[in-house]
Chain A
């Protein structure tokens, strides 16, 4: 049953060193505030899973929280590279990161398998691709009915999934809309689920087919307005494209990155504190 609590309590109580963690959100609703809190609390040895590592995992990887990453597209959308991810993979900074690389279709299917309680997913994929040569968890089977060669991939079964959503009610039922990505599947694939939300409302005004996570599949709901920034929350605020661009220069350099993490995350109390310092540094940049 969903516990409505602070993000600090949720992260300290539910995320443990060594956990397999999926923080999902396909460009939209990326749970950045939760990522920051994991860094702030100094979690270590996390096995990260996410289709598009994006800035959220670039930060976690650069801050030394992760030992492995399962992913399918590792760029800064519309900008270029994720420099912290590359530095960890290529130079082992701040320490070695083991990567397991898949395709989007594979990852999406792997979450469905996880949510369905199956050990693996089947898809028509990877034929002619070199990915199975560098990732031995991608395998092939012959269809028992037609003989067709199909690809398989292990289900994603996170210890904990973290997502951001627009609304929850006071019981902890969660409503999200817009681009949904794999969030529902990622939540249902996990043993525990943290949801940060823009708003807690008396009643969810949700049509019959809306994407709802009922309170009994959610471990904790945390009220974190703007908690997806610099990603966006449909109906609340837009993507901060300028910050995605600015991140390139911050993350390109180890010292600049470390200073940014120190000032914006380690030296702030919580996400509200981050937003305050973030606004200050945005002003300094444009001055």
Chain B
């Protein structure tokens, strides 16, 4: 049995909370800076006035002149989702967070006896969700049915899956838009109608994704989920005296942060498996990007190669930059070279010299000059001093 916790429109709720805007007003999640001018999820009030996610901003405002747009805050949404995941993991569950950022699933096997029954487990899972966020809990034998059960807040058993899913709209199936349009054109509106189609016909018309959806409607999809490996988070943050838009300055700041987290990871006896870069933007929004490393490492240079190019995607001046890493990698990650290159030898010697200077005079004597806005006509915005990391 798979239990799913669902908080509909969770990223929108978090953005409204951050912006202190009311849930009852017609509000939609606006486009991210630099992204296509289409709106995201909207409040029930906006939905009632004809606004739908995916509308262009102009079309949405034409349909609902009183519509407000709230700036997405992916950083806050991610943090809030992480808190929910941690609370569910506190129940002993191996949680698989959904890609949509609003659902969390875990297998109930082994937890039912530990918690004294399914009803108790469901109650405790519900208690783990944030109060007042409209969270729902459901359970079913397969991941897709479990998510639909969570929408309805019910527990579905194996022999009830097909009957439960049958009246639900086929538009909820995880299909590409083209396949959905094909189903609509064929007059197929419910999951029950999909379930009654011959498998060969589905494969012929909709391909392998169509067959996967067909199996879901019959409760025959793979009942396994892929829970995450609980991370061992390390984090560092740098704040700027003035907001910064220059890429070299951001790169310098990120290099400092990467050096810090690799130190932390090494101290914890692990190595960095993945990082999340977060930037707080001058206009009040945020930008966040996750980078999964090909292999766990404690080498700042290799992490930098993977992380630094993503900074070019930040669309507004940054007031603070943060990095979070999962330091759950093995301690001996990364194969060591037998012979150091001359560059590595020079860096090693420079690092030793730096350590000696710091031992004598503290961290302050060795600083790095960082270009902030070389084009600025204001001297105080042109350069800054930051910690030097060898």
Q: Do A and B bind each other?
A: no
